[in-house]
Every structure is written in structure tokens, then in C-alpha cells.
Structure 1
């Protein structure tokens, strides 16, 4: 009876709860996930398929594939959207390949489940420090960053997806962004063979916030003047939201970043592609 009440009022149940209901045998709960995410899935499919008549089939296959994963106890616990969109992109390109089309080499990463820890071809994410840092975050943090900073949705639109108030969504995002910065620095440090770089990179977070002494600030500035790698890390850290959006969009959706930035093909800014009512 409890499952029925949840399923009948899906708009008030967050994604994590709906996923739990599906895993516990309530297949009707999947309707809520479908209604919440089908619009954006359809748009991503239409941008990826070579034959527009394939888009609807791809979306149906993607939802079915994700449903099977959930029933099997796999797939996302909270972050349904990215798992679905990466599935849509992968199936779209698989269909194109079957039709004899060639996938551009730069898009090969979309043939893999971008956010799946078990994916053997996670190289696309691992090759981008910001993406690697994002993937290392808790799934709930990934979700709030994706919705607010990648899709640029409003907190009020994200609230029902995460089962939080709009204010709580904003507060969660602040913690998640700080966590992303820390994780980014950790990933960047691990990539540096130069111990001098490691010494300064670890201080960049406090440096940005003005939390270092005058003497330390002077030393960091001197190091940055002669280190292009740490200078690039600082720039990416300052605009972690922008960097994350530029890297994650093509990795997850399979759509080249240039299409997201331009107004061509009807995309424009993400607010147009991901309307709040789709949440």
C-alpha cells in the first residue's frame, strides 16, 4: 500500500526514493522517473542520431536499459539523469554505427557509460582532471552540481528531484562546489611529478579565498609566474563551474561542446534545452 501511495504521487517523491521503489519491485515508480527526464532524453537523442526517426526508439531503449539495471541492483542511487543521458548517447551512436555511419574519433567516449565505476573504458573521464574530480564526489553532490552548474537549472526546479527545499539545494551546492575544488586540487597534485608544484598546488584553494599569509601569497605568485601547469589549474579552479560544464556536457551527452555554446540548431543556452518544467 505504501508503494502505491508513492507511485500515485510521483511528483512529490525524489529520484532516490523512486529508484529505491523500483528496486523493491514497484515498477510503477519508474513512471515518475520517466516523466521527469524524458524531455531532456529526447532532445539529447535527437542531437545524437543520424536518422531522426531513430530518436524515439533510442529513448525507449535507454529507459528500458536503465530500468533493467535498477532491477538488477545496478545503476545510479540518486543521479538518474546523467546515467540516462549517457545511455541515450551510447545507444544513439551504436545505432549510427549499425547503420554504417562512422562515429567521429572525438566522440568515441560516448560509447561507454561515462559515470559507471565498473566501466572498463573510463579513460575519457580520467583524461580530464575536472571530470575525474567530479566522478570522485558523492553521487548526491554530482547530481546537484550537474543540475545547477551544468544544466543551469534553478534551485526550485531541482528541489523535487533531490527531495530538498530550494534553500537546501543551494546549501548543498555550496558544499559540493567546495568538495569539487578540494577533489580537483587532490587530483591535480597526484598528476604532478614535480614536488615543488605539489607544494604550491595544495595551497591554491586558500590562495583563491585570500586565506594565506602575505609571504605565502608572494611565493605562490612567483611560482605561478614560472609554471604554466599550476597557472592553468588556478584558472580552472577559479571557474570550476564553467570548466565542469564545458568538459562534462560532451562526455555525458555525446554532444560537442561547441553546440552547447552556440545558438545554432535551436540549442542556445541550456535553459532552452533543459526547461525547468522538465524537472
Structure 2
């Protein structure tokens, strides 16, 4: 996906190579290109980077924990075959892998349920997120629409920093930026997400009052309005639960993304896949 985020430079974080070996500094996007050119060691690096997250999602998805490693192995094999065939992701490798894990886990659960005794209702009654009508709600939510409207590079940095809660230094090698570059890109992406979210809210809200004041909520939350306009927005909020709820969402974008975006990609709630991070700030 193109867009302004795709213009970000790598801040001198290009990987250094010696005889074709993979460098620690290689970004996921660089490694994907290397895999497509036949470098299997590049995929081994991708596997090492993303295996832990894949296991977390598989464990949260599966009915039988003993199947976790099989699901992860099958998912990465599928991704490797896609890349070798010139398909698969260009950027945002993590999301592609976790989506693949979700699909493989669902297939394994489904196959197991066909061979399990019907008395095991705890298996037969398992709800899989991508078969659940709630997925349609996720996809149509203002947060999901706003997130999907961003360039993939911006989605990627928000995923790592705001959803998974990684520090910029940990994200830097994954996306090919310096830690400072990660922080700066996350700020830009977060602000654009708020803007897109506001626009989606305005499009779906009724009444000229909400349309007028919704456009000012971002600046209001940062106390960036003139005293007069700050007071006018405050007065509107006191009588408008809808805009008040929106303001709360804008001030807690991380929680909103964890609640809506993470299940879209993985098929499970964030708290199920990363219980140790649930409720923690980035």
C-alpha cells in the first residue's frame, strides 16, 4: 500500500552483509526480499523474530495446546512457500504470519471436531472468531476502518508500539529505522489514525452540532484550541454523550486498537494472546 508513510527512510539502519549472511539490522521488508531471491537464512531470521508471537496466538486459538508447535510450523511453511513463489507480504510481515496462524489453527480445530465424540461439547461449541458475526462488527468499526486506511508501514509501527507495547529500540530492526525514527513515525501514524477515526465518526454521526465539534476534539484533547473554542467544545461535551465517548477513545487509542485491531488479525482477544501485556502501556 502506498502513501506518505512509504516515504520514510531507513535512518542508516540498512543491514551490513558479509558474504551474503543476514545482518541483525535487516528489516523484515529487506528479509522478505532476500527470501524471494532464494536466501533461506533470511527466512530463518524472520522465523526467529516472529515465532514467539505466533506461538502465543496459536495457543490462544487452539482447543488442544499440544498442537501449538505443529500449527506454527505449518503456518511458517505456508508463508515461506508464498514468498518463494513471489507472493505474500511486502511489508508488515508479523500481521501476515499471525493471520496465517489463525487460519491454520482454525483448520486444525475444525478437523479435530469432526473426529471427536459429540459428547465433548466443549470442543464442538468452540467459537472461532472468523466464523463469528462479531468479525463483521470489528471490520466495520470506526477504529478498524481508520487503521486500514493508513499506509502499511504506519500500521506496522502502530502494531508494534501501541498494540504489542514494544519499545522503539525493539521495533527498530524490524522496520528498518533508528529508535528515534520509530518514535517519530509512531507519533505521525497515531495522529493520522486519530484524524481518520474522527472523519469516520463524523461521516456516521447525525446532527450538525456533532459534525462541527468532532473536528475539534483532537485539538481539544491536547488543549490546542483558543480559550473561547476550548470552552465551546467543553460545553458541547457536557450535553453530548456520543462526542464524550469519542473523546475518551481518542485519549486511549492504544486500548481501542488492542480491542478492535488485534482480533481482526489474530482471531483472538489481545488478553488471551498476551496476558502479560494486557492493560500495560507501551
Q: Same fold (TM over 0.5)?
A: yes
- Hey, what does 2:142 align to over in structure 1? 129
Q: Which runs of 5+ in 2 are unaligned?
A: 1-14, 114-122
Higher relative contact order by CA 8 Å / sep ≥ 6: 1 or 2? 2
Q: Which runs of 5+ in 1 are unaligned?
A: 112-120, 262-266, 273-279
> CA separation in 2, counterparts of 1:167 and 1:12?
15
> CA separation in 1, counterparts of 2:107 and 2:61?
10
- Hey, what does 1:116 align to over in structure 2? none
- Hey, what does 2:163 align to over in structure 1? 150
Cα offsets for 1:123-149 (capped at 9, x unmatched): 344332212211211111111111111
Find out whether 1:214 has 2:227 as its counterpart. yes
Q: Identify if the C-alpha distance between structure 1 residues 9 and 24 changes in structure 2 by more than 3 Å, giving closer, same or farther.
A: closer
State the SS of the aligned residue for 2:24.
helix
- 2:246 maps to which of 233, 244, 264: 233
Cα offsets for 1:183-220 (capped at 9, x unmatched): 11122122223333122111111111222223322322
What is the TM-score of this pair, normalised by structure 2?
0.80
Find out whether 1:254 has 2:267 as its counterpart. yes
Report if the CA contact (8 A) 2:271-2:278 is conserved.
Answer: no
> CA separation in 2, counterparts of 1:66 and 1:43?
18
Cα offsets for 1:2-40 (capped at 9, x unmatched): 9x8585224221101111222344344222211211122
- Hey, what does 1:269 align to over in structure 2? 277
State the SS of the aligned residue for 1:99.
helix
Q: Identify if the C-alpha distance between structure 1 residues 15 and 174 changes in structure 2 by more than 3 Å, giving closer, same or farther.
A: same
- 2:186 maps to which of 161, 170, 173: 173
- 2:54 maps to which of 41, 44, 50: 41
- Which of the pair is proportionally richer in helix? 1
Q: CA RMSD in A?
A: 2.9
Which one has a bigger Cα radius of gyration? 2
Q: Which runs of 4+ in 1 moved over 6 A?
A: none
Report if the CA contact (8 A) 1:7-1:29 is conserved.
Answer: no
- Hey, what does 2:35 align to over in structure 1? 22
- 2:97 maps to which of 81, 84, 108: 84
Q: Identify if the C-alpha distance between structure 1 residues 271 and 71 changes in structure 2 by more than 3 Å, giving closer, same or farther.
A: farther
Cα offsets for 1:215-249 (capped at 9, x unmatched): 32232222222222211111000111222123223
- Hey, what does 2:78 align to over in structure 1? 65
